[in-house]
């Protein structure tokens, strides 16, 4: 098996789940709570099942670590799956959500696919083979001045209990950059850094399935990814900074002051 097969399977799995999510966005839904503001709709496990069934059929020996149902230990070769990234948006019918699938080897993403069904955009990357949007190569932006930068971020689910550092970091960025977006789907934020629509992204307390595919995309598109301190990032870390590279030192100046509290 080579990376092209894995990539094609991840792509097809993401398309299947994405189509289902798009078709069901307008339907009435039942929302349950994993935490105070951490939601799950009935669409999350269905989308996940579509992905898991397909990947298990294609690669029965590769275990799956998926957000809602399937768990495995993060060792060797395994899939990391977020069937619906942007659940709060989905629950409110705000049409901004993605499907994120990565093939991992230990803590390293080898292949990553992010699908944005409402826009018909499929982002993909394989390590050493570049990053693509709908089969066209993508690159990070060349913006180097903070005042010309459009950044993205998100707020962790514990923000009601621990807002201080999140808000302080947000404020420090806000007064230095051109704009900040909090669109609500971390995988899309990362994909947008990879294709140069955003110049940088930072967020704390994300889960490995939120970032695995996206960080590979950013790296393969020529960008830089680290933790808040500038150290090497892997998707099991608690904080991430992704940028076009040129803005990275500026972003770290701020993030290094605000390591998250659990």
CB of 107 to ligand IPD, least distance (A): 19
Binding at 50: pick from Ca ion, ligand IPD, none (beta carbon under 5-8 Å per type):
none
Q: Where are the alpha helices (DSSP H) in the chain?
A: 3-24, 43-58, 87-91, 164-174, 186-194, 208-220, 248-255
Query: Is residue 220 part of the contact set for Ca ion (CB under 5 A)?
Result: no
Q: Interface with ligand IPD includes 210 (CB under 6 A)?
A: yes
User: Judged by CB under 6 A, which of 113, 185, 194, 217 binds ligand IPD?
Assistant: 185
CB of 104 to ligand IPD, least distance (A): 18
The answer to whether 85 contacts Ca ion (rule: CB under 5 A) is yes
* Whole-angstrom distance, CA of residue 94 vs CA of residue 39: 14
Of 63, 154, 245, 246, the residue at the interface with ligand IPD (CB under 6 A) is: 154
The span from the CA of 233 to the CA of 256, in Å, is 14
Q: Are 239 and 232 in contact (CB under 8 A)?
A: no
Q: Which stretch binds Ca ion (CB under 5 A): 5-13, 61-69, 224-232, 233-241?
A: 61-69
The one among 47, 186, 251, 254 contacting ligand IPD by CB under 6 A? 186
Per partner kind, with CB cut-offs from 5 to 8 A, the member of Ca ion, ligand IPD, none near residue 185 is: ligand IPD
Strand partners, 152: 181, 201
106 conformational bin, left if phi > 0, alpha if psi -120 to 50, beta if neither:
left
Considering only 18, 63, 86, 223, the residue that binds ligand IPD (CB under 6 A) is 86
Rule CB under 6 A: choose which of 184, 196, 200, 246 binds ligand IPD: 184
**Least separation, in Å, of the C-beta of 164 and Ca ion?**
23
Name the residue among 77, 70, 56 with its Cα closest to residue 9. 56
Task: For residue 45, count CB atoms less than 10 angstroms from its CB and return exposed for 0-12, middle for 13-18, buried for 19 or more.
Answer: middle
CB 254 within 8 A of CB 173: yes
Is residue 156 a contact residue for ligand IPD (CB under 6 A)?
yes
Instruction: List the interface residues with Ca ion, window 199-218 (CB under 5 A).
Output: 210
Which one, of 24, 12, 87, lies nearest residue 53 by Cα? 12
- The residues that bridge with 204 in the sheet, in sequence order, are 239
The Cα–Cα gap between 78 and 104 comes to 5
Instruction: Kindly state the smallest distance separating residue 185's Cβ from ligand IPD, in Å.
Output: 5
* Nearer residue to Ca ion within complex by CB, 109 or 146: 109
Q: Exactly one of 143, 193, 194, 206 binds ligand IPD (CB under 6 A); which one? A: 206
CB 187 within 8 A of CB 82: yes
From ligand IPD, Ca ion, none, which one binds at residue 48 (CB under 5 to 8 Å depending on kind)? none
Distance from chain centroid for Cα 43: 18
Interacting residues with ligand IPD (CB under 6 A): 82, 85-88, 154-156, 184-186, 203, 206, 210
> What residues make contact with Ca ion under the rule CB under 5 A?
67, 82, 84-85, 210
């Amino acid at each position: 098996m080579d990376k092209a097969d894995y990539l094609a399977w991840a792509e097809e799995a993401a398309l299947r789940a994405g189509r289902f999510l798009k078709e069901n966005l307008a339907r009435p839904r039942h929302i349950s709570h994993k935490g105070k503001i951490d939601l799950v709709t009935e669409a999350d496990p269905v989308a996940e099942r579509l992905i898991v069934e397909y990947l298990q059929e294609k690669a029965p020996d590769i275990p799956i670590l998926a957000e809602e149902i399937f768990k495995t230990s993060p060792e060797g070769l395994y899939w990391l799956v977020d069937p619906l990234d942007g659940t709060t948006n989905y629950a409110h019918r705000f049409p901004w959500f993605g499907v994120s699938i990565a093939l991992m080897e230990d803590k390293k993403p080898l292949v990553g696919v992010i699908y944005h069904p409402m826009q018909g955009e499929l982002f993909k990357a394989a390590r050493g083979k570049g990053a693509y949007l709908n089969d066209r190569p993508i690159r990070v932006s060349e913006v180097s001045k903070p005042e010309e930068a459009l950044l993205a971020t998100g707020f962790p689910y514990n923000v009601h209990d621990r807002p201080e550092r999140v808000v302080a970091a947000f404020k420090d960025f806000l007064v230095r950059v051109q704009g900040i977006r909090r669109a609500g789907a971390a995988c899309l934020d990362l994909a947008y850094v990879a294709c140069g629509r955003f110049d940088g992204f930072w967020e704390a307390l994300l889960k490995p399935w939120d970032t695995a595919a996206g960080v590979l995309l950013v790296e393969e598109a020529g960008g830089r990814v680290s933790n808040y301190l500038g150290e090497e990032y892997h998707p099991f870390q608690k904080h991430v900074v992704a940028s076009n590279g040129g803005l990275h030192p500026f972003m770290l100046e701020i993030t290094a002051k605000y390591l998250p509290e659990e």
